Amino acid sequence: MGQNIFQKLVTLVRGGATKAGEAIIDANAITIFEQEIKDGQSNLDKAKKDLTLVMAKSMEAGRKISGLKENIAKHEGYVEKALGKGDEALALEVAGKIAEFEGELQIQEGAKAQFDTHIKRLKSQIKDTQQGLDKMTRELTMVKTTDSVQKASQAISQNYANSGSKALSAKESLNRIKARQQETEDRLAAGEVLRAEFEGESLEDKLRESGIVEDNSGAGSVLDRIKAKQNQSN
Partner 1 sequence: MLEMNGVCKSLEKYEDDQGLNFDVQQLPGEIATLSVVVNGVEELPIYISSTDEEVLTVCHLFDINEVKPELEAEMNRAMLTMNVPMPLSSFGIVGSQYVVFGALSASSDIDELVHELITLSANSVDAIEALSDYLK
Q: What is the contact surface with partner 1 in residues (CB under 8 A)? A: 18-21, 145, 148-149, 151-160, 163, 165-166, 168-174, 176-178, 180-181, 184
> For residue 167, what is the DSSP state?
G
Distance CA(176)–CA(183), nearest Å, equals: 10
Long-range contacts of 45-53 (CB under 8 A, 24+ apart): 47/122, 47/125, 47/126, 47/129, 48/126, 50/122, 51/119, 51/122, 51/123, 51/126
Choose between 33 and 101: whose C-beta lies nearer to partner 1: 33
Residue type, 199: E
Nearest-approach distance from CB 31 to partner 1, in angstroms? 18
Nearest-approach distance from CB 23 to partner 1, in angstroms? 12
Choose between 32 and 152: whose C-beta lies nearer to partner 1: 152
Nearest-approach distance from CB 141 to partner 1, in angstroms? 9
Nearest-approach distance from CB 226 to partner 1, in angstroms? 55
Nearest-approach distance from CB 162 to partner 1, in angstroms? 9
Helix (H), strand (E) at residue 28: helix 27-84
Nearest-approach distance from CB 33 to partner 1, in angstroms? 17
Choose between 168 and 189: whose C-beta lies nearer to partner 1: 168
123 touches 6 (CB < 8 A): no
9 touches 22 (CB < 8 A): no
Go through the chain and tell me how many residues it has: 234
Choose between 181 and 216: whose C-beta lies nearer to partner 1: 181
Choose between 157 and 202: whose C-beta lies nearer to partner 1: 157
Choose between 195 and 225: whose C-beta lies nearer to partner 1: 195
Instruction: Provide the 10 A C-beta neighbour count for residue 184.
Output: 10
Is the alpha carbon torsion for 151, 157, 161, 165 positive or negative?
A: positive
Nearest to 126 by CA among 29, 35, 55, 33: 55
Choose between 155 and 190: whose C-beta lies nearer to partner 1: 155
Query: Which residues of the chain form beta strands (DSSP E)?
Result: none
151 touches 21 (CB < 8 A): no
Distance CA(137)–CA(82), nearest Å, equals: 69
Nearest-approach distance from CB 153 to partner 1, in angstroms? 5
